Amino acid sequence: MSFFKISILLLLLIKPMIRKLVLSILLLYSFQAFSQKGSYLDSLSQEISKLSKKEQVEQIVSIPYDKVVSNIRFLDSLTEKAIAYSKEIKDTLLLAKSLEKKRLVLHFTSRTEETIALSLEIIKLYETLNLPVKVGDSYANLAWKIKYLDLDKSMRYMTKAIALLESNFDAQIINPVYDNYGVLHALKHQLDSALYYHNKSLKLKKTLNDSVGIPFGYCHLAEIYAKQSEYNKAEAYLDSAMVIREKRKDIYGISDTHLYIGDLYFKKKDYNKAVNSYEKGFNLSKGNSYYPLKKYASEYLYKSYEAKNDYKNALHYHLVYTKLKDSVLNTETNNRIHELEIRFQTEKKEKEILSQRADLAEKELDLSKKNTYILGLGALAVVLGLLGYLFYNQQRLKNRQLQKENELKDALIKIETQNKLQEQRLRISRDLHDNIGAQLTFIISSIDNLKYGFKIPYKLGDKLKSISEFTTTTIHELRDTIWAMNKDEITFEDLEIRISNFIDKANLAAQNIKFNFKVENKVDKQITFSSIKGINIYRIIQEAINNSLKYANASVIEVLITEAKEQMKISISDDGNGFNEADVDLGNGLNNMKKRAEEIHGELTINSNTTDGTIIILEF
């Protein structure tokens, strides 16, 4: 009989507390012994098979992060075992921890919808256990997963997570959350805030001697410095990250760092070095089933080869990326996530209503006991008076009870109505996506494949390009419409972000034009609009900017939002070539803007001349 089998038998005979201590030492030794024969996870699976179910789960949920990424597929089977055993022994805490390990598997295999559903389940379990730190950590994980699906909602979840974690401070848990919060700020182009949170996280990582987290922090800082064109700083941080990860033999980390280095060269337009780094990351990711990294590498390989005019390789990696990406399903995935969140929030509201009912019943019981006690102590002389008082009091309680029950019924009806309306919107948006969005996406993909796959005459190429651009614009407008449909109401903040994103895109497309977007401080940002009103306001601004880009030959375009005496005013102005309204027949664009203004009971004014440019003012 081998040394390890004898050791396991002895462990089963000694006391549980001593067993845990000895087990940790034994597993450490055994994993070193098995390093020449198999992987860490293989060894773990063999060594714990003779332990109790609870001890097996405890060992699985304590697997370090760097070992998790070494064999994702094998970890999947271990987590399934841990979940089943946790349910069998009815241990809620171990079940939550097992689901967290399962969430890592789903993340690394790009199963987005399952990951989000599991995150919501984990949050509910930790709320049941009253563990605010774990609840905060779970909200942070949910925020990270939905960052490319709904960045604003991701920011809200991350803010909630940080509030929970800072009020119950745990440096080990909060340091990666600060780091991820910095990434979200970078996605919103708030680079100073991103640097602040990355540095805050890195300081904690170094205090904790977190050798896994420190290179992540270095890579995130490098990404920000690259965006600020401080390439030397970015390169220094990436070199430091690679040294640590190679020393630790962290294959996932090395793959990740190669992609960051590729991004740096891509920004510097050194496409040969970019391709070299991206291919290293792609090959490592492919060999270890790191699907998110593999998808990212294939996307930027095709972009790099395209920049080098190497269309053969560009087409190859474009096809690889097309197979890996899930952009056609983005709208459907967003809708399913909305459904999951609606169910999650509805369940919470129903629990609150049941709790209110229980409180009302308890108060009524207390009042009934008090009335009975008063009746028992009353004298015969005041029986009629007491009976009259009790009758009056009982009627009052009944009226209150009826009022509360009606309020509860109204609340339930309102929730059901909102859910039905949301389901209708989701169905309509799915129909739009399936019947129009998918076909438009197919058109763009087909045109791109034609351009890469065939030698096309110059004029025909231009025509295909214009068709592709028109189709892309149509998809963007369709997404804007679906964005409005998926909301009961649109907040001023939602509208401001949407306008800002559009202006950022316009700025990238027309780099010789300066854009200014200002919202005066006195504007009430708590205002909400109906979805119809919000999309009409957005379309008027969008049309005005597009007209300036197409016809004005302007150098400055400015959007200004002000408010005075409960009247909101939006002005869109340019310093380009204006026009004389008396001499020009208004086109469909200006007429459509006026019709949209009328629909929201607003007033649209157009002031233009050939020397001073054009200003369009919307008041409502």
Q: Is residue 58 part of a domain?
A: no
pLDDT tens profile 412-449: 777 676 666 666 666 665 556 555 655 666 676 667 66
pLDDT classification of 70: cutoffs 50, 70, 90: low
Query: How high does pLDDT run on average in the chain?
Result: 79
What pLDDT does residue 69 have? Answer: 66
Q: Which two tokens stand for residue 123?
A: 């949050």
What pLDDT does residue 425 have? Answer: 61
Q: Is residue 132 part of a domain?
A: no
Region 580-607: what's the mean pLDDT? 81
Based on the fold, state whether residues 596 and 504 are members of the same structural domain.
Answer: yes
Asked which of 140-149, 290-299, 422-431 is least confident by mean pLDDT, the reply is: 422-431
pLDDT tens profile 247-281: 988 888 899 999 999 999 999 999 999 999 999 99
What pLDDT does residue 222 have? Answer: 92
Based on the fold, state whether residues 447 and 497 are members of the same structural domain.
Answer: no
Q: Is residue 134 part of a domain?
A: no
pTM for the model stands at 0.46
Domain boundary among 453, 470, 504: 453
| Residue entry with tokens 């306001």 | 537
Based on the fold, state whether residues 386 and 339 are members of the same structural domain.
Answer: yes
Q: Is residue 514 part of a domain?
A: yes
Q: Is residue 406 part of a domain?
A: yes
CB atoms within 10 A of CB 297: 29
* Number of domains comprising the chain: 2
Q: What is the three-class DSSP state of 87? A: helix
Q: Are 102 and 119 spatial neighbours (Cβ–Cβ below 8 Å)?
A: no
Angstrom CA distances, 521 to 128, 516, 560, 569, stand at 42, 16, 12, 14
pLDDT classification of 509: cutoffs 50, 70, 90: confident
Q: Which two tokens stand for residue 286?
A: 């492919």
> Environment class of residue 52 by beta-carbon count within 10 Å: exposed (0-12), middle (13-18) or buried (19+)?
middle
Q: Are 618 and 561 spatial neighbours (Cβ–Cβ below 8 Å)?
A: no
Q: Which residues contact 123 (CB under 8 A, 6 or more apart)?
A: 135, 138, 139, 142
What pLDDT does residue 108 have? Answer: 72
Q: Which residues contact 453 (CB under 8 A, 6 or more apart)?
A: 315
Q: Is residue 431 part of a domain?
A: yes
User: What beta strand segments (E) does 344-400 contain?
Assistant: none
Inform me whether the pLDDT recorded for 389 exceeds 60: yes
The helix or strand, by DSSP H or E, that contains position 16, with its residue range, turns out to be helix 16-34
DSSP assignments along 101-136, one per residue: HHHHHHHHTT-HHHHHHHHHHHHHHHHHTT-HHHHH
Based on the fold, state whether residues 446 and 497 are members of the same structural domain.
Answer: no
Based on the fold, state whether residues 435 and 536 are members of the same structural domain.
Answer: no
Asked which of 131-140, 182-191, 339-348 is least confident by mean pLDDT, the reply is: 339-348
pLDDT classification of 231: cutoffs 50, 70, 90: very high
Based on the fold, state whether residues 607 and 501 are members of the same structural domain.
Answer: yes
pLDDT classification of 199: cutoffs 50, 70, 90: very high
Question: pLDDT over 90 for what percent of the chain?
Answer: 21
| Backbone Cα Rg of the chain | 31
pLDDT classification of 384: cutoffs 50, 70, 90: confident
Q: Which residues contact 525 (CB under 8 A, 6 or more apart)?
A: 492, 493, 496, 519
What pLDDT does residue 5 have? Answer: 46
Region 117-142: what's the mean pLDDT? 89
Based on the fold, state whether residues 442 and 493 are members of the same structural domain.
Answer: no
Based on the fold, state whether residues 446 and 493 are members of the same structural domain.
Answer: no
Domain boundary among 435, 453, 471: 453
Question: CA-CA distance, 530 to 128, in Å (whole number)?
Answer: 36
Asked which of 8-12, 108-112, 316-320 is least confident by mean pLDDT, the reply is: 8-12
pLDDT tens profile 89-98: 999 999 989 8
Q: Is residue 422 part of a domain?
A: yes
Q: Is residue 96 part of a domain?
A: no
Based on the fold, state whether residues 351 and 441 are members of the same structural domain.
Answer: yes
Q: Which range marks the domain in which residue 587 is found?
A: 489-619
Inform me whether the pLDDT recorded for 122 exceeds 70: yes
Based on the fold, state whether residues 370 and 443 are members of the same structural domain.
Answer: yes
Based on the fold, state whether residues 421 and 520 are members of the same structural domain.
Answer: no
DSSP assignments along 456-504, one per residue: --HHHHHHHHHHHHHHHHHHHHHHHHHHHHT-SEEEHHHHHHHHHHHHH
Q: Which two tokens stand for residue 586?
A: 């208004």
Inform me whether the pLDDT recorded for 119 exceeds 90: no
Based on the fold, state whether residues 402 and 494 are members of the same structural domain.
Answer: no
Select, from the ranges 26-40, 59-73, 375-389, the one with the highest average predicted confidence (pLDDT): 375-389
Asked which of 282-291, 361-370, 494-503 is least confident by mean pLDDT, the reply is: 361-370
The CATH code of the domain that includes 598 is 3.30.565.10
